[in-house]
Structure 1
Amino acid sequence: MGIQSCVRIMNEWDIVAARQLGRNVAKELGFGTVDQARITTAISELARNIYLYAGQGQICIEKVYEGGKTGVRIVAVDSGPGIADIRQVMEDGFSTSGGLGAGLPGVKRLMDEFEINSAPGKGTDIKAIKWLR
């Protein structure tokens, strides 16, 4: 586990702050501009979900070093309404906000590892890692 920095998500400016934090950490670790963009896009998506569906939560970003690999881990946590059907929200094109539906499947594609835990009334906890190539 690396050093973790968190941003509380309560309004749209917090989404910007979380993106900026993620970009800085990715840059420090040596990620190229394309992967930096992937990481910040994933953070945007996760932070926006917290803002839209849970009202508040937090995005934590940390450097990870595992088995000779270096990466960045994004953890999105909220105590919102939770997700009743994770399989459904992981389908491409599924959207409850009328957005493009890139959502969680998009985040999963942008990152190398993706894990989601959620239950109705229990909030949502998402972890995603991008490894440095």
Structure 2
Amino acid sequence: MTAGDDIAAMERIVVRTDQDVVRVRQLVRTLAVAVKLSLVDQTKLVTAASELARNTLVYGGGGTVDVGRVDNGRRLGIKIVFADEGPGIADLSLALTDGYTTGGGLGLGLSGARRLVDEFDIDTRVGQGTTISVIKWCR
């Protein structure tokens, strides 16, 4: 994201249950169609959002997911921000390593989710929580 990017109003979903993860996927799919992401990119974004929303629930103890359109003047995209106040990630380098998993998710892990989006930013602090921001741009 650059300073010139324009973000439309974000819609927030509080993630406390598996049903909330489903709601995140549905909202992301709806907005991805609205900005005309290709079917392949829709699938990539929904898959990443599902994995990261599940991580917010399982490892972060729940949190929030903000989803909205973003426009950088050349193209549209979807921005999603996942935030929790859980234990944080003690070893971020390890957590971002391909093949690393603690089980229970889709098996993608953070590194897999990162590969599915165009922009990926993570801020984690042990004992304070984790915030992950992702963007998928229209091609």
TM-score, reference length from structure 1? 0.95
Matches within 5 A, 1:1-133: 1-97=7-103, 99=105, 101-133=107-139
Shift in Å, 1:60: 1.0
Q: Identity rate of aligned residues, in percent? A: 43
Could you report, residue by residue, the CA deviation over 1:68-99 in whole angstroms, capped at 9, with x for unpaired residues?
22110111000001001111100011112265
CA contact (8 A) 1:74 1:127 kept: yes
Shift in Å, 1:3: 1.4
Q: Secondary structure at the match of 2:90?
A: coil
Root-mean-square deviation (CA, aligned residues, Å) is 1.2
2:98 is aligned with what amino acid?
D
Q: Secondary structure at the match of 2:59?
A: helix
Counterparts of 1:4 and 1:100 in 2: how far apart (Å)?
26
Counterparts of 2:119 and 2:74 in 1: how far apart (Å)?
16
Counterparts of 2:71 and 2:104 in 1: how far apart (Å)?
38
Counterparts of 1:100 and 1:30 in 2: how far apart (Å)?
26
CA contact (8 A) 1:93 1:100 kept: no
Which aligned runs of 4 or more in structure 1 are off by greater than 3 angstroms?
Answer: 98-101
2:131 is aligned with what amino acid?
D
Flag structure 2 segments of 5+ consecutive residues without an equivalent: 1-6
CA contact (8 A) 1:62 1:73 kept: yes
Counterparts of 1:92 and 1:115 in 2: how far apart (Å)?
17
Paired residues, what number? Answer: 133
